[in-house]
Amino acid sequence: MHNRVWTDGEGMVESKRKSEDLSHVEVTAKVSQAPVAPAVPYYNRGYSAPPPPPMPSRGSPARDRMRRRRVRPRNRGGEWAWVVIALALLSVVIVISMSLTLLLRTTQEDTEVLPTAMVGLPTPVDGRITFDNLANLGTGQQVTLEDGRSIVLQPWDGETRFTVLAMGLDRRPGEDGLSYRTDTMMLISIDPVNDTIGILSIPRDLYVEVPGYGQLQRINTPMVLGELQQPGYGPRLAMQTVQYNFGMRVHDYLAVDFDAVITLVDYIGGIDIDVPYNISDPQYPNMWYGYDPFYISAGMQHLNGATALKYARTRHGSSDFQRAQRQQQVLYAVRDRVLDLNMLPQLIVQAPSLMSNLDDNVYTGLTVDQMIQLAWYLKDIPKENIRAGVVSQEYVMSYTTEQGAAVLIPNRSQLGPLLVDVFGSNYSQ
């Protein structure tokens, strides 16, 4: 059988191939001195491709280089295989050694076991100290703080609305930083024109848009997302998210962890709460991701810091909406305790040392002086001028994501009336 391969108009290569032995090929060629054009593909001519010509029998530098290339990859593969086997054996030896070491330590040492309810709680400090010279302090008077600075008591003198995003971090003892979900969120807004305060609790499962992110997120995640972008950016992203979804300017933030709540409530000697119903939560989560059963009876109760935190956090037998109402109740109780006992002047004097002790538990963009001015202003707003609300069932729609997570979609047509009711018609200014 004869196959012909045309290379150009003046030259061709003729190859003869015996059908009984395809491995031996004799090639005769007649090639002109003109440049050789690329061969026309065989699939366009209907011919089958001829076998390549045999390599020259004699040795050459090119042949030697090709032979070395073929040998080296096999050698590398063999070497790497032994390296992998050696590492695997070494890993087994290390794991066995560590296991034996831990077993010996466990059998030789007796570890002291502490009740989970008592681990990690801050030491209670009572701030109810009587200062006779502070009892009659008033606006315009000078007072010396514990850090030695002297200030003149003046209320906040803002002429337009001032809004703070208050957040509770889901952070346990031994953890630090801001890269944690904000499972408690409240918008607290002061309206100096109408002399009112508005408080709106936002459920943590609200599924909203986060500026800069293409997919919807739970509203308690922007703090984490922002901190992953850049340390210290979490609070700003959380503020931007709330502002974007509620159409209300947010000026500053206040983030606290569990220890801060316990310390502050104990500092003022506890709070009085009228518990509306019996609460039985055998699966209340403790500080170490275990369980610390929580029970409280309906009626007037005096709560210390740890119990107040449990009362605000428990969800067993209730919903996030009811939990938000209890958190507002704790906030009111703290205010009433401070004002009823005329504790604000002495708390102002002790503010620098108190904030210093809570430096790792409280985060805010406000200075101590600004917080003092705001507190001095808020003390004179009557309780009937404080309005509170919760983004509850009537303002959301239940939804299950593609990943199977249960979230809440805001019903934006209903949010407007809620914001007006809590903050007033000028809430967006």
**In this predicted model, which residue has the larger pLDDT, 326 or 106?**
326
Contact residues for 247 (Cβ-Cβ < 8 A; gap 6+): 419, 428
Instruction: Say what percent of the chain tops pLDDT 90.
Output: 47
Taking a C-beta distance cutoff of 8 angstroms, is the pair 239, 186 a contact?
A: no
Of 130, 153, 149, nearest to 141 by C-alpha is 153
Amino acid making up residue 384: E
Q: What is the pLDDT of residue 133?
A: 55
Say yes or no to pLDDT of 367 above 80: yes
User: Confidence band (pLDDT; 50, 70, 90) for 309?
Assistant: very high
**In this predicted model, which residue has the larger pLDDT, 117 or 354?**
354
As a whole number, the mean pLDDT across the chain is 77
Per-residue pLDDT, averaged over 157-164, amounts to 92
Tokens found for residue 288: 């170490």
Q: What is the pLDDT of residue 317?
A: 66
**In this predicted model, which residue has the larger pLDDT, 136 or 118?**
136
Q: What is the pLDDT of residue 357?
A: 84
**In this predicted model, which residue has the larger pLDDT, 100 or 288?**
288
Say yes or no to pLDDT of 375 above 60: yes
Q: If you classify domain 132-423 with CATH, what class do you get? A: alpha beta
Say yes or no to pLDDT of 225 above 70: yes
Q: What is the pLDDT of residue 99?
A: 44
Taking a C-beta distance cutoff of 8 angstroms, is the pair 108, 288 a contact?
A: no
The 10 Å Cβ neighbour count of residue 239 is 23
Per-residue pLDDT, averaged over 61-90, amounts to 48
- Sheet containing strand 12-17, strands side by side: 2-6, 12-17, 25-30
Domain ranges of the chain: 2-44, 64-105, 132-423
User: Confidence band (pLDDT; 50, 70, 90) for 67?
Assistant: low
User: Confidence band (pLDDT; 50, 70, 90) for 175?
Assistant: confident
Q: What is the pLDDT of residue 146?
A: 83
Tokens found for residue 347: 């708390």
Lowest-confidence range among 174-188, 222-236, 275-289, 405-419?
275-289
Q: What is the pLDDT of residue 138?
A: 79
User: Confidence band (pLDDT; 50, 70, 90) for 239?
Assistant: very high
Q: What is the pLDDT of residue 61?
A: 56
Tokens found for residue 159: 């002429």
String of DSSP letters for 270-291: -EEEEE-S-EEETT-B-TTSSB
Using DSSP's 3-state secondary structure scheme, residue 46 falls into coil
- Degrees (nearest 5) of the Cα angle 77, 78, 81? 85
Say yes or no to pLDDT of 321 above 60: yes
Contact residues for 143 (Cβ-Cβ < 8 A; gap 6+): 134, 137, 150, 151, 152, 153, 345, 348, 349
Per-residue pLDDT, averaged over 330-337, amounts to 94
Total-model pTM: 0.69
Per-residue pLDDT, averaged over 301-312, amounts to 95
Would you give the distance in Å from CA 394 to the centre of its chain? Answer: 28
- 13-62 pLDDT, tens digit each: 344 444 444 444 343 333 344 444 444 443 344 444 445 445 444 455 55
Output the CA–CA distances (angstroms, integers) from residue 71 to 61, 63, 74, 377, in the order listed: 16, 13, 6, 85
The 10 Å Cβ neighbour count of residue 183 is 18
User: Confidence band (pLDDT; 50, 70, 90) for 355?
Assistant: confident
Q: What is the pLDDT of residue 301?
A: 96
Say yes or no to pLDDT of 373 above 70: yes
Output the CA–CA distances (angstroms, integers) from residue 22 to 4, 26, 27, 61, 300, in the order listed: 16, 11, 13, 28, 102
Q: What is the pLDDT of residue 147?
A: 83
Per-residue pLDDT, averaged over 248-271, amounts to 94
Amino acid making up residue 334: V
User: Confidence band (pLDDT; 50, 70, 90) for 353?
Assistant: confident
Terminal-residue alpha carbon distance, the chain: 93
Of 292, 223, 300, 317, nearest to 309 by C-alpha is 292
Give the H/E segment covering residue 261: helix 258-267
Q: What is the pLDDT of residue 105?
A: 42
Instruction: Say what percent of the chain tops pLDDT 70.
Output: 68
Taking a C-beta distance cutoff of 8 angstroms, is the pair 398, 406 a contact?
A: yes
Q: What is the pLDDT of residue 112?
A: 38
